[in-house]
Structure 1
Amino acid sequence: MMNTDTVPAAIGANRLVEINLDRLSQMGMVTQDSGRTSVAEDFRIIKRPLLRNARAETGGGAIRHGNLIFITSALPGEGKTYCAVNLAMSIAMEMDNTVLLVDADVARPSVLKVLGLGSAPGLMDILTNDQLGLPEVILRTNVPTLSILPAGRPFKHATELLASRSMSALLTDIAERYADRIVIFDSPPLLITTEASVLATQMGQIVMVVEAETTTQHAVQEALRRVEQCPHVNLIYNKTKEFPGGQYYGYYD
């Protein structure tokens, strides 16, 4: 890791932040108090096979980093951040799991904005400052089983950092430190940046969000080609109220 700055004085270990759950519920998103909404039901279906893979319940043995779930899309605007947040919220309701939601879209971070939270140090700060550790930048929330790792400040050599041995070691630490932890990564779009393809090589499971009636077949095929090294890739067909068939689906008005 590179020591490029001193540790910001405002950073505290496992700082507690308050997510406005009523606001999220009014936005139509999944919360512990939102009840059996259609979106909540969608994500109950979406999360089940992902959790089976993470727990090695599929009969094929353990998946390396199976608890690292990478949410991406071919292009911007397809709803990947909303899917990442909803999936994290849904899994946080499980009795046997804790969730770490990572904003890995370091060029255009939006997880904290969606959750109504202010900016905070995070992933890039760990990778550029050897005085920082993971516990110092993880945000605990008022959802007891949900924590957040923000993207942190922008860095012009983000791709190189995400491909570094420091990042690989950090991902191993994140994956293995707690046996019950599921880690959801909101990643950059696959066809816009190179960061997503770099990160995808170290993930156990990939979920690609496809915007209904907008994303072209060519874009989907090209995006899938960029993550073909991962054997566990799933699709969410997003922003539609009708789904003619398939394994994963979801929608947002």
Structure 2
Amino acid sequence: MNDHDRDDRHERRLPLAGARQEQALTTRQLEERRLIHRHESVRTHADAFRELRTRLIALAGGPQGESRNFVTLVAPVRHGCGGSYVARNLAAAFAFDDTKQALLIDCDATHPAQGDALQVSAERGGLIDYLENDALSLDDVVYPTGVPRLKLIPAGRIRETPGESFSAFRMRAMIDSLRAHQGNRHLILDGSPVQGSPDARILSDLADLVVLVVGYGQVGTEAIDKAVASFPPEKFAGVVFNRRP
């Protein structure tokens, strides 16, 4: 590949910001993917995620919360708390706003969920593939979801111990690049469970805010307190008690 080809490839990468058009999902397809939408049938859930979005914006920004984009880590206390469900719908809530873009990044390389949930076939690979293969570009691993203004980076290949990849320079450079190239893009990291792994704590170094997900009735107070203590206090946004796995 010559320098001219590299330049062309870089220019083709720019539509990552969300300029590409895609077929929007129907209401039935959204519900199959367990995604909130604008219709009355899921109004309670949609309003809850809108409220969470509003609170995060207020925490991250100025008086109106509109001063900058930010990165939110959504991490469950343990597997089965529904962290991926919360992360997916928080991203959808950001995408509701016509002035915002949302990028959901599946960082749970041990139990990846978002590709299957959103019915995205990651034929070019995902996050772990990108971090381990310099030949892949960001554009290669960002996929449309059928939800306007919402893109997905799936986890890609399964890794039992992905923490080293998350702490590598390429991961931080990826996050910085995604933030810098579009000022209205909000990044949602679907993180690994806090219990049993350092991965969520490692990912919190890349995030501006952390949301802890607790399965309603599944986790005791002591476990919640211990999970909260895993994150920097200045980044901790709060706890979501989730009834849905």
Query: Where on the TM-score scale, by shorter chain, does this alignment land: which range?
Result: 0.7 to 0.9
What percent identity do the matched residue pairs reach? 24
Amino acid in the other structure paired with 1:191: Q
1:164-179 matches, within 5 Å, as: 164-179=168-183
Residue 5 of structure 1 aligns with which residue?
Answer: none
Say which SS state the counterpart of residue 226 (structure 1) adopts: coil
Partner Cα separation in structure 1 for residue 105 and residue 27 of structure 2: 19
Amino acid in the other structure paired with 1:73: P
Residue 57 of structure 1 is aligned with which of 44, 62, 73?
A: 62
Residue 89 of structure 1, CA deviation: 1.1
Partner Cα separation in structure 2 for residue 40 and residue 127 of structure 1: 33
Q: Contact (CA 8 Å) 1:73, 1:190: kept in 2 or not?
A: yes
Residue 171 of structure 1, CA deviation: 1.5
Residue 188 of structure 2 aligns with which residue?
Answer: 184
Which deviates more from structure 2 when the two are superposed, residues 16-25 or residues 119-128? Answer: 16-25
TM-score (norm. length: structure 2)? 0.82
Q: Contact (CA 8 Å) 1:71, 1:185: kept in 2 or not?
A: yes
State how many pairs are aligned: 227
Q: Contact (CA 8 Å) 2:228, 2:236: kept in 1 or not?
A: no
Residue 126 of structure 1, CA deviation: 1.1
1:81-100 matches, within 5 Å, as: 81-100=84-103
Partner Cα separation in structure 2 for residue 24 and residue 94 of structure 1: 17
Choose between structure 1 and 2: higher helix proportion.
2
Partner Cα separation in structure 2 for residue 141 and residue 26 of structure 1: 13
Residue 175 of structure 1, CA deviation: 2.1
Partner Cα separation in structure 2 for residue 123 and residue 220 of structure 1: 28
**2:154 paired with 1:150:** yes
Structure 2: 5+ residue runs without aligned partners?
A: 1-11
Partner Cα separation in structure 2 for residue 195 and residue 181 of structure 1: 24
Deviations along 1:193-252, one digit per CA (max 9) or x if unpaired, are: 22111111121011111122221111101111111354342111111xxxxxxxxxxxx3
Which deviates more from structure 2 when the two are superposed, residues 149-158 or residues 201-210? Answer: 149-158
Say which SS state the counterpart of residue 57 (structure 1) adopts: coil
Deviations along 1:67-125, one digit per CA (max 9) or x if unpaired, are: 10110111111111111111111110112100001101011100111123334411111
TM-score (norm. length: structure 1)? 0.79
Residue 248 of structure 1 aligns with which residue?
Answer: none
Say which SS state the counterpart of residue 69 (structure 1) adopts: strand
Partner Cα separation in structure 2 for residue 155 and residue 20 of structure 1: 34
Partner Cα separation in structure 1 for residue 93 and residue 235 of structure 2: 24
Residue 129 of structure 1 aligns with which residue?
Answer: 133
Partner Cα separation in structure 2 for residue 232 and residue 155 of structure 1: 27
Distance 1:224 1:135, change over 3 A: same
Say which SS state the counterpart of residue 75 (structure 2) adopts: strand
Amino acid in the other structure paired with 1:224: V
> What is the RMSD computed on CA atoms of the aligned residues?
2.8
